[in-house]
Structure 1
């Protein structure tokens, strides 16, 4: 999301009650991710090294003290994924060529196309978390009226938004330079992401 959305979310975080690490531990559920790989479809490069990861029901909605969006935001931040935003997902195909992205569903449900038009439509609901490696196309297909996502990014990398196929050759080179993050956005240094993406670092 653009910097203005991140600033708007930062303002929210200044005034809301946020769970401490002890509370977070009771709200994060151990989950094995579903790993999906997408080939370059000629329009969207996707990522040749890192699979997209889906953690089903990773964040519990049972807290009566903290809003779900606040819990997800805090989980990501505690694991080194920041620059967060809260909104829906764009309804046009786009990808980020210089950074990975994580999205956690705070409210509602939706169908999101991942991997470009030749990819896969994934059904998501509150508590699900999706990690999109750099280059992975995504767009919203349909959603409930109350659908809300919390997004965030690892410490390294620069936010960009690619939608024009004319930029593809340069984007492919940028994607190749984006290495694995140091932590899993949900489970930290020892999370499944660090294992699944290990040994698949920077190239180019």
Structure 2
């Protein structure tokens, strides 16, 4: 039995560079209710899924309540428990409600900030192989550096939710 719902197709949003948060030409992706979670071990469900698709460096926690981005790596966030209102794309981005079973895939440079979360909110984060995660705050200096590093971030070998033939592989082809 698959833990990913059939025909899982993500919502795709391209956020503009706002002068402080670079964002990315690649679309930010959200799979809504894509993962069938084990009621007793939802964290392990998501960790196993990400690992099976080659994403590692996993952690369990929440999402920082301050605006930040990662200029050296793509990131996936899988919600294991609870829900949160998260602003993606920086101050001019979009607030989305993410809940258990949802997965957000953030191309390098995508701003994100937790606005509000349920007490039981738990997210699993992971990264493609080879890249080092660094938390970057939006400043003019960091923005200038990020514009140089983001284009060098390689595409992941597989969609963290649906694998090598997943929608991310189609949606993230370099122009």
TM-score by shorter chain over 0.5: yes
The structure whose Rg is larger is 1
**2:156 maps to what in 1?**
181
Structure number with the higher helix fraction is: 1
Q: Does 1:148 align with 2:122?
A: yes
**1:81 maps to what in 2?**
55
**2:77 maps to what in 1?**
103
Q: CA RMSD in A?
A: 1.1
Deviations 1:106-152 (A, max 9, x none): 00011000000000001111000000000000010001000000000
CA-CA distance at 1:164 after TM superposition: 4.4
The within-5 A match list for 1:7-46 is 25-30=1-6, 31-46=8-23
Q: Does 1:120 align with 2:94?
A: yes
How high is the TM-score relative to the length of structure 2? 0.95
Deviations 1:40-78 (A, max 9, x none): 001100002x100000111113x35x5011000000000
Q: Which has the higher contact order (CA 8 A, sep 6+)?
A: 2
Say how many residue pairs are matched.
173
